[in-house]
Amino acid sequence: MGPAGIQLLFAGTIFSSAFLLFLVQPLIAKQILPWFGGSAAVWSICMVFFQVVLLAGYAYSDWITRHLRVRAQAALHIVLLLASLAFLPIVTSARWKPTGAEDPTLWILGLLLGTIGLPYFLLSTTGPLVQSWVARTPWGAQVYRYFSLSNLASLLSLLSYPVLIEPRSSLLQQAHGWSWGYGAFVALCCGTTLYVARRWADVPLQQASGDTAAVPEKPPRTADYLLWLALPALGSWLLLAVTNHITQNVAAVPFLWVLPLSLYLLTFVLCFESDRWYRRGVFLTLAAAMLLLCAFGLQDRIGVYVKTALPIYVIGLFALCMFLHGEMARLRPGPRYLTRFYLMLSLGGALGGVAVGLVAPHVLPAYYELGIGLVLTALVAAVVLRGRRWLSVASVAVAGCCAWFLLLQVRDDTVDARTLQRNFYGTLVTLDRQKDDPADSVRRMFHGSVKHGEQFLLPARRSEPTSYYGRTSGIGRAIAAAPAGPRRVGLIGLGAGTLAGYGRAGDVYRVYEINPQVFDLADTEFSFLRDSPARIERVLGDARLALEREPAQGFDVLAVDAFSGDSVPIHLVTAEAMEVYLRHLRPGGIVAFHVTNRFLALAPVVAKIAESKGLHAVLVHDDTADTAWLLDTDWVLVAREAEALAREPVGAAASAIAPVAGARPWTDDFNNLLGILK
């Protein structure tokens, strides 16, 4: 094999491993998302798992390159590669479905370990291990360019999934396609391993040269190890914190995590491709400006407006990661300490991910990790720049400003809040809004930036429906159109409990809610549930999983109103979910989908599913411009019989739903979010 062929073999192995490594992340997360209420926290937990397993892979690579000869490395690695084929295909087993009593964090971690643990581990070892072998070849001086190549492959994989793969294939097809790709990777990696063991086993490491030799080939100092740890830790911290912020508080689009992760990877590609991309003077100035702007944006002044906040945090993440990863690239060692460098890089990334994904939800009452991350980044900059006193002092001053803005954010969150709580499912806030007319004063519940209901404080008005649930809304009309006798109503998603205010003596309202804190707040902060004449039944856990297990409930109306951010969780808007709902519906009953959304056009999705099942669907748009305590809403009402949707007061407000050309009905195996962006 010629030099070009050998380099192509190394490059192909590293590229394919990185491409598959990042392709499996959205694929597996999408498989398990429906089992945990469609919560955005599922992705954060998955990210923590991926980072920890990546750390384990880098630790493995570092250990075997230091303690085993090349031929022993090859033998061990080939055995593990072949053993990992037993995990294929990567289709999550139904035995992992939660019952609702488990800790979702631990359950997700166990599920991922049992489904993709060993294949993901082997993919994560490939980059540093193959690069350690490359360092023995005449091309060893170019070794860090392979790291840049691996990040480029990860970036291409990440971008191709929502644009090319997700809209054109089902989840099962994706899982099987990935599994075949992994099988090809195993064959390629085994070939590379055997070739190295035969051709380069006794060749010593090459001395790095050129622009890739940032420091001499000498043992790293303790300060180097600490910076190798701190810089990637803060990059990972900011990635997850910015993702949480823009999906929870700015634009609650379920796939918006792709954008920050893409920029995060791009900074690795640029900083390790060569030294010409990172210019300290340019990015140091830009990073300082974006630190201050991002910290200022944490307040309500600009923090929740898409046109201002989204660009600020996206550009800010890029600038800060360019600084962090650029400084890390300046500190990279020669080939002798390459695997140790990657191990520390991975350990730092895992620590940052664990801090934001696992620790913060349990110790911080709201999303304050972004502000904390900004302060820490400025302080680390002061350490990195300690050789230039005035720059170090300026960095400390920037850290002080960021800390001040963080304190203002905490003050803004707490000064009017009656309660501020956080768990796996996000942050819940209740607060009172006093109006000039006391009769109009209300108590509100928010999940992130999304209102989840409100109630009048005046006792005489407490049972009056508000926000999304007025009597002229789709759900208000559906309940009014139900039979005059005792009604049985199902509520998927509780919020403040407003819909219980429609209950009458003899009615039964059965509430499905995945977040126990919502039940607590509905009981302690609002009175809809306890004031309702209806009998209230409670089911804690994911609504769809509960409905799948329960006998038929015979609902007259079933309201699907389980918001996650600003969108109904996808697993509640599929053909299979519709089958579950229909089993629990009485003849003449109505399923009401709340599809009010700033970013996604969900009405055609529900209509297409209804059409595929031979059902009837109408849209009820409620324009409430003249009523301050009501919001404009869109509800899609679905029924087996057209007559059910013609009953008053539904018929008077019902309108047809315009179909989307070429749209396919969503299933548990297929959905296309990009296709319904407004």
Render pLDDT for 426-451 as a digit per residue (tens, 0 to 9): 889 999 998 888 888 999 998 876 78
Average pLDDT over residues 655-669: 87
Alpha helices in 91-139 (DSSP H): 104-134
Identify which has the larger pLDDT, 292 or 413: 292
Q: Cβ–Cβ contacts within 10 Å for residue 184, how many?
A: 11
The answer to which of 72-86, 130-144, 215-229, 566-580 has the lowest mean pLDDT is 130-144
Please, are residues 37 and 564 in contact by the beta-carbon 8 Å criterion? Answer: yes
Range with the poorest average pLDDT among 212-216, 297-301, 493-497, 668-672: 212-216
Q: What's the average model confidence in pLDDT over 164-193?
A: 91
pLDDT at 625: 80
Which is nearest to 161 in space by CA: 262, 89, 289, 92? 262
- In whole angstroms, what is the distance from residue 65 CA to residue 87 CA? 26
Asked if 186 contacts 179 with a C-beta cutoff of 8 angstroms, the reply is no
Q: 137-146, 284-293, 603-612: lowest mean pLDDT where?
A: 137-146
Comparing CA positions, the residue from 599, 521, 543, 515 lying closest to residue 247 is 599
Question: Which positions ≥6 away from 557 have C-beta within 8 Å?
Answer: 475, 478, 479, 482, 487, 489, 490, 589, 590, 591, 592
Question: How does residue 38 score in pLDDT terms, banded at 50, 70 and 90?
Answer: low
Q: Which run of H or of E encompasses 492? A: strand 488-492
Q: pLDDT at position 605, please?
A: 94
Rounded to 5 degrees, φ, ψ at 483 are: -55, 150
Determine the 3-state secondary structure of 429 from DSSP.
strand
**Which among 25-29, 30-34, 231-235, 278-282 has the top mean pLDDT?**
231-235
Q: Which has the minimum average pLDDT: 25-39, 80-94, 205-219, 256-270?
A: 205-219
Q: What Cα–Cα distance (Å) separates residue 126 from each residue in 14, 79, 115, 183, 206?
A: 6, 14, 20, 15, 19
Mean of pLDDT values over 564-583: 82
* Integer Cα distance of 475 and 459 in angstroms: 24
Whether pLDDT at 120 is above 90: yes
Least confident stretch, 256-265, 385-394, 425-434, 627-636: 256-265
Mean pLDDT, the chain, integer = 87
CA 238, CA 371: separation in Å to the nearest integer?
9
Element (H, E) at 545: helix 543-549
C-alpha span between 499 and 424 (Å, rounded): 25
Closest Cα partner for 291 from 266, 257, 317? 317
pLDDT at res. 29: 80
Q: What is the pLDDT of residue 158?
A: 82
Q: How is residue 642 written in tokens? A: 């057209």
Residues 6+ apart with CB under 8 A from 481: 590, 644, 647, 648, 649, 650
User: Two tokens at 424?
Assistant: 């796996």
Q: Beta 450-456 vs 616-622: how paired, if at all?
A: unpaired
CB atoms within 10 A of CB 400: 12
Query: What does the alpha-carbon distance between residue 298 and residue 309 come to, in Å, rounded to a whole number?
Result: 9
CA angle in degrees (0–180, nearest 5) for 436-437-439: 140
CB 593 within 8 A of CB 635: yes
User: What span, in angstroms and rounded, lies between the C-alpha atoms of 495 and 81?
Assistant: 48
CA-based R_g, the chain, Å = 27
Q: Which residue has the higher pLDDT, 120 or 2?
A: 120
Is residue 2 pLDDT above 70, yes or no? no
CA–CA gap between residue 481 and residue 650 (Å, rounded): 7
pTM: 0.77
Structure tokens at 389: 């006193």
What pLDDT is recorded for position 250?
Answer: 52
Give the pair of three-digit tokens for residue 364: 């911080």
Region 533-561: mean pLDDT is: 94
- For residue 208, is pLDDT > 50? no
Q: 54: which residues sit within 8 A by CB, 6+ positions away?
A: 124, 346, 349, 350
What tokens appear for 161 in the block? 């999934």
Strands (E), 370-472: 417-423, 426-433, 442-447, 450-456
Q: Where are the alpha helices (DSSP H) in 564-625?
A: 575-583, 603-612
User: pLDDT value at position 427?
Assistant: 86
Instruction: Work out the angle between the directed axes of helices 280-296 and 369-384 (0-180°, nearest 10).
Output: 150
Higher pLDDT pick, 275 / 534: 534
Which candidate, 382, 18, 322, places its Cα nearest to that of 181? 18
Mean pLDDT for 309-338 is 90
With a cut of 60, say whether residue 205 has pLDDT above it.
no
pLDDT at residue 670 is higher than 90:
no
Q: Give the tens place of pLDDT for each residue, 577-630.
A: 999 999 999 999 999 999 988 778 899 999 999 999 999 999 999 998 878 889
In 339-359, which positions are buried (b, 16+ CB within 10 angstroms) versus exposed (e)? bbbbbbbbbbbbbbbbbbbbe
